[in-house]
Structure 1
Amino acid sequence: MSGTLTAAARYARYAPIRRHLLTEASKRIPLASVASQARALTLWDGKQVVPADEMQLAAVLDLGVLDPVGGHGRAIERQARAEPPLPGSEEDRMLRALMEARFGLYRLLGPRPEGGVAAEAFPDGAPVVIWDNHLMRGRAPGTLVGARLAFPEDDLAMTCGTAIALDSRAVERLLLGTPPQRGPVFPSLPLPDDGPALERLVAEPAARMRLAALRNGPGFAVMVTRTAIDLGLMGAIPGRTPPEAMPPRGA
């Protein structure tokens, strides 16, 4: 396929397949797993998930489908067993890509005229073009994000879950091994002009090795997501954000 269609055209074909597979897989997350993922992100009130917005709910579902904590099985594997696609089909390639998707840190460089977003892995700087129509929305070049990428074809990197905006505060906590916090959460935007601070944090080889070890180890996605939540980078958190700092209903 790669020799006959542009990357933009191939992305347009895979995007609805990805959406369908993730939606169907999310329906196969057992309640016990939903509860475990939501508890890990402090988005569980004892009976149900209590996200403040769709991005927070997407983070819970992303873990349940692709990378659960608490010893639960992956819903994407349940989906594969329940509705196995035709071998060699686009559906099959997309399903396999989702099952092999990895969570990492990426610095967004900006949209490309031909489509996709130019980016680089952080901190090693490996270039990658990420296909996601909403990735740069409201984000400036240089923004650091945590995202899970799937490759249905070798040259086609697609997001499969929410892309979480980060900054040097989050990276510092990851490097220090700061445990999850339980205190109040105040909504916060990523620090502006944060590039120099990020580079200082990973200037030493030991820091780069530490991040690589975290990325390749278990639980990296939940670690990054929880760090962003604790810093307020994912907005207000019901039960942790003081009432006066909560957004108005319907906002």
Structure 2
Amino acid sequence: MSDDQTPAARYLRYAAIRRSLLSAASQRIPLASVASQARALTLWDGKQVRPADEMQLAAVFDLGVLDPVGGHGRAIERQARAEPPLPGSEEDRMLRALGEARFGLYRILGPRAEGGVSAEAFPDGRPLVIWDNHLTRNRAPGALVGLRLAFPDEDLAMTCGTAISLDSRVLERLLLGTPPQRGPVIPNLPRPEDGPALERLMAEAAARLRLAALAAAPGFAAKVTRTALDLGLMGPVLGRTPADLLAQG
């Protein structure tokens, strides 16, 4: 394999294309869709998106571009119609991959010396390599994340959109069907060494089937993101986090 066709080299090229496509598509989200996504995440103040940080803003645009709630069309499809790339090009493969990208749950095992991140799908344990330069930052081996993967090439799994740190509390709420919360949000970190709790939750076949059904249904990404926000795993939420905690941040 030539140097420019190694996974690491292809990832660098595709990453630049991905960034350009997602940026262009984000400009094609109608305001009504932006409002719907932000409302679903309690990040709308009645007139505009009101995130506490860039990650929360990225979560709103991630939904609007790739997986909107509220019956809105996907901005990535608008981008494909407005500026179709040359068929068969890397731009074309990346655009198609973004259109087919799916949100799921994964456990991060650690960086690989040859590049990429060792991971496994949750809960089935299917191993895979995910290409993302930042995925292991501040995450210990075994950390659970929710993210969307795109495959511009069959052997290259790339993140697109936000990677959300999760723990067993999120999974428990999803399995119980806990409705979105409106109360105070207290910022906190995912539980450390959470593996045993995750395994207990997934011990029964019924729980695994329930999670699989949730993941296959529309709106799963929004549901996971909102649950993480409610639990404070994405930091403070303006209007929901007490003022004294905001001041501390």
Which TM-score tier does this pair reach, normalised by the shorter chain? over 0.9
**1:59 aligned partner, one-letter code:** A
TM-score (norm. length: structure 2) = 0.98
Per-residue deviation, 1:2? 9.1
**What corresponds to 2:160 in structure 1?**
160
Within 1, Cα distance between the matches of 2:4 and 2:12? 14
User: 1:37-116 alignment to 2 at 5 Å?
Assistant: 37-116=37-116
1:142 aligns with 2:142: yes
**What corresponds to 1:125 in structure 2?**
125
**What corresponds to 2:215 in structure 1?**
215
Asked if structure 2 preserves the Cα contact closer than 8 Å seen for 1:236 and 1:247, the reply is: no
Q: Which runs of 5+ in 1 are unaligned?
A: none
Within 1, Cα distance between the matches of 2:77 and 2:142? 35
**What corresponds to 1:202 in structure 2?**
202
SS in structure 2 at match of 1:62: helix
SS in structure 1 at match of 2:145: strand
1:239 aligns with 2:239: yes
1:55/1:211 Cα in 2 relative to 1: closer, same or farther (>3 Å)? same
1:117/1:231 Cα in 2 relative to 1: closer, same or farther (>3 Å)? same
Within 1, Cα distance between the matches of 2:98 and 2:209? 26
Asked if structure 2 preserves the Cα contact closer than 8 Å seen for 1:38 and 1:49, the reply is: yes
SS in structure 2 at match of 1:8: helix
Identical-pair percentage: 80
Structure 1 range deviating more: 4-13 or 160-169: 4-13
Within 2, Cα distance between the matches of 1:47 and 1:41? 15
Structure 1: which 4+ aligned runs deviate by more than 4 Å? 1-4
Asked if structure 1 preserves the Cα contact closer than 8 Å seen for 2:3 and 2:9, the reply is: no
Q: Give deviations 1:67-120, integer Å, cap 9, x for gaps.
A: 000000000000000100000000000000000000000000000000100000
Within 1, Cα distance between the matches of 2:140 and 2:80? 37
1:124/1:247 Cα in 2 relative to 1: closer, same or farther (>3 Å)? farther
**1:23 aligned partner, one-letter code:** S
Q: What is the CA RMSD across the aligned residues, in angstroms?
A: 1.3
1:247/1:103 Cα in 2 relative to 1: closer, same or farther (>3 Å)? farther
Per-residue deviation, 1:128? 1.1
SS in structure 1 at match of 2:238: coil
Q: Which runs of 5+ in 2 are unaligned?
A: none
- Give the aligned length: 249
1:191 aligns with 2:220: no
Within 2, Cα distance between the matches of 1:241 and 1:94? 38
Within 2, Cα distance between the matches of 1:121 and 1:229? 22
**What corresponds to 1:171 in structure 2?**
171
SS in structure 2 at match of 1:145: strand
Per-residue deviation, 1:5? 1.4
TM-score (norm. length: structure 1) = 0.97
